[in-house]
């Protein structure tokens, strides 16, 4: 197994030294990539060998490039073939629509210099455009499991030529109940393929999934070299009915910086968003009941600074790639400690510092022990101060 200690020195390497072709490395220079991150330095050479890889790495550590660049290298630089209608040669599975859009955008950018044909297929969008894109022929598909099954049932996609299968954020796909869909995909792809599995946590369920999908994989663990140490973790004890006031205090201390606020339910997210708007705070809400168009607009407004606070549920916010996000607020603590890691992984990315503030009611305090075990720095408890309430 490769671990964090093995990869620290590798971060000083160039992408060329990892085995990538000049056509790719020159594109990376134009994109502003200078040195590989630890997960890239470990995973890229391992993927290029053609063997299966299981990597533990958090969002924000550069994992999309860690699997995306060697896929482009293998399929479209060293072994270029014209795409076959409906039959991609590489498949990346992701848990959410937002992550599908982001991974597709990244892979299409990496493959632009070699005329990569890349298509994202996910729910909440029309089938017609996706069917037409598949019919024209694509090299690589990024898909959510549910919509991929829809295409399999309609026979609008053929997975019999897949050479590389990637499961991104495998732990979240299991949490969301996608195991039956993943097993259906497993029956459709060739047994003689390369499988890449990336996950922020390697639970017993993920280990069992890896046993079904991979053969003699190389294990990579860079969890100790992630950006989490650049995040300060604070918690504030509040009464359940006092969370709105506490959120107002936290946001006022942020002095206009953008903040991502996590709530435990869609209804609660809507209520918090409405409270923020009534208080004159530019806020938007995303959750599973929002249309894809509404979610995309809200995220775009947040990224462009048209709104300063984005309120979200775990599922909707999974995989969000937001540059320079200084603050994450846990309005409600997650029931699973691993979800805390995913939430705070939105801030403190790429070596930047960030803050994670959790508003903890008495009924939630039992969740703190598991969370503390997942992070590398202590959760500092801060005292409340008075502030104007969010009406």
Classify residue 45: in a domain, yes or no.
yes
Contact 143, 42 (CB under 8 A): no
Separation in Å, CA 91 to CA 57, 168, 186, 280, 333: 20, 11, 11, 44, 34
Closest CA to 391 of 294, 233, 272: 272
- Whose structure tokens read 């019919």? 135
Residues 6 or more apart whose Cβ sits within 8 Å of residue 136: 85, 117
Contact present, 288 and 314 (Cβ < 8 Å): no
113: domain CATH number is 3.40.50.300
- Looking at the fold, whether 73 and 178 belong to one and the same domain comes out as yes
CB 36 within 8 A of CB 44: yes
Residues 156 and 184 in one domain: yes
- Examine the domain organization and report whether 194 and 299 are in the same domain: no
Residue 79 domain-assigned (yes or no): yes
In a domain? residue 388: no
Is 218 in the same domain as 256?
no
> Which run of H or of E encompasses 322?
none
d(CA 40, CA 67): 8
Same domain, 290 and 215: no
- Which are the contacts of 207, defined by CB distance < 8 A and separation ≥ 6? none
321, 197 in Cβ contact below 8 A?
no
Residues 213 and 108 in one domain: yes
Q: What string of H, E and C letters represents the secondary structure of 232-252?
A: EEEEEECCHHHHHHHHHHHHH
Number of domains the chain is built from: 2
Whether 387 is covered by a domain: the verdict is no
pLDDT (0 to 100) of residue 256? 63
Q: What is the pLDDT along the chain (391 residues), one digit of tens a residue?
A: 544 333 333 333 578 888 898 888 888 888 888 788 888 999 999 999 999 999 998 777 788 999 999 999 998 877 778 888 999 999 999 998 888 988 999 999 998 888 889 999 999 888 999 999 999 999 999 999 999 999 999 999 999 999 999 999 998 898 889 999 999 999 999 999 999 999 988 888 899 999 999 999 999 988 654 434 478 889 999 998 899 999 988 998 876 678 999 999 999 999 999 999 998 899 999 988 888 788 888 888 988 889 999 999 987 666 566 767 889 999 999 988 878 877 887 776 655 678 889 999 999 999 988 888 777 667 888 765 554 445 4
Q: What is the pTM of this model?
A: 0.67
Does residue 232 contact residue 355 with C-beta atoms inside 8 Å?
yes
**Using CA atoms, how far apart are residues 371 and 365, in angstroms rounded to an integer?**
10
Q: Burial level of 162, CB count in 10 A (0-12/13-18/19+)?
A: buried
| CA distance readout (Å), 120 to 93, 108, 131, 133, 147 | 10, 10, 11, 9, 10
Q: Pick the closest to residue 314 from 353, 276, 341 (CA basis).
A: 341
Residue 389 lies in a domain: no
Residue 134: which residues within 8 A CB-CB, separation 6 or more? 85, 86, 88, 119, 121, 141, 151, 156, 157
Residue 242 phi/psi, 5-degree rounding, is -105, 10
Kindly state the DSSP code that residue 182 receives in the 8-state scheme: H
Q: 54 lies in which domain range?
A: 4-225
Cα distance between residue 246 and residue 231, in whole Å: 20
Boundary (domain end) residue, out of 179, 210, 225? 225
Q: Would you say residue 22 lies in a domain?
A: yes
Is 283 found in the same domain as 196? no
Q: Report if residue 107 sits inside a domain.
A: yes
Tell me how far apart the alpha carbons of residues 343 and 356 are, in angstroms, rounded to a whole number.
9
Of 298, 262, 307, nearest to 280 by C-alpha is: 307
Same-domain pairing of 202 and 253: no
> Of the residues 183, 201, 225, which one is the last residue of a structural domain?
225
Same domain, 283 and 298: yes
**What separation in angstroms does the CA of 314 have from each of 96, 102, 244, 318?**
11, 17, 19, 6
Nearest to 313 by CA among 172, 195, 171: 172
Task: State the pLDDT at residue 1.
Answer: 54
Query: Do residues 204 and 299 both lie within one domain?
Result: no
Q: Which helix (H) or strand (E) holds 167?
A: strand 164-168
Q: Are residues 260 and 197 in the same domain?
A: no
- Residue 124 belongs to some domain of the structure: yes
Of 225, 255, 287, the residue that ends a domain is 225
- State whether 27 and 130 are in the same domain: yes
């Amino acid at each position: 197994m490769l671990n964090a200690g093995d990869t620290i020195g590798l971060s000083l390497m160039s992408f060329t030294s990892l085995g990538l072709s000049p056509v790719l490395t020159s594109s990376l220079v134009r994109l502003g990539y200078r040195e590989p991150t630890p997960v890239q330095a470990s995973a890229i050479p391992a993927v290029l060998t053609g063997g299966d890889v299981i990597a533990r790495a958090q969002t924000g550590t550069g994992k999309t490039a860690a699997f995306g660049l060697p896929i482009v290298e293998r399929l479209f630089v060293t072994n270029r073939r014209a795409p076959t209608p409906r039959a991609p040669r590489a498949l990346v599975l992701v848990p959410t629509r937002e992550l599908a859009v982001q991974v597709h955008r990244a892979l299409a950018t990496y493959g632009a210099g070699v005329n990569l044909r890349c298509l994202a297929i996910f729910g909440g969008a029309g089938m017609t455009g996706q069917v037409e894109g598949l019919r024209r022929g694509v090299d690589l598909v990024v898909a959510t499991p549910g919509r991929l099954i829809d295409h399999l049932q309609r026979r609008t996609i053929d997975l019999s030529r897949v050479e590389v299968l990637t499961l991104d954020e495998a732990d979240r796909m299991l949490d969301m109940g996608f195991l039956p869909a993943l097993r259906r995909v497993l029956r459709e792809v060739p047994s003689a393929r390369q499988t890449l599995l990336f996950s922020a946590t390697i639970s017993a369920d993920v280990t069992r999934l890896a046993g079904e999908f991979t053969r003699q994989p190389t294990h990579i663990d860079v969890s100790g070299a992630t950006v989490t140490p650049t995040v300060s973790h604070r918690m504030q004890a509040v009464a359940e009915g006092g969370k709105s006031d506490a959120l107002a205090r936290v946001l006022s201390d942020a002095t206009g910086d953008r903040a991502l606020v996590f709530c435990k339910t869609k209804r609660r997210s809507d209520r918090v968003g409405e409270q923020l708007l009534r208080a004159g705070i530019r806020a938007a809400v995303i959750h599973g009941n929002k249309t894809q168009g509404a979610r995309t607009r809200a995220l775009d407004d947040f990224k462009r600074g048209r709104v300063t606070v984005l309120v979200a549920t775990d599922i909707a916010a999974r995989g969000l790639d937001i540059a320079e996000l200084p603050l994450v607020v846990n309005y409600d603590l997650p029931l699973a400690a691993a979800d805390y890691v995913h939430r705070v992984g939105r801030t403190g990315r790429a070596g930047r510092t960030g803050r994670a503030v959790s508003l903890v009611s008495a009924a939630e305090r039992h969740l703190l022990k598991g969370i503390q075990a997942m992070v590398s720095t202590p959760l500092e408890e801060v005292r409340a101060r008075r502030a104007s309430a969010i009406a």
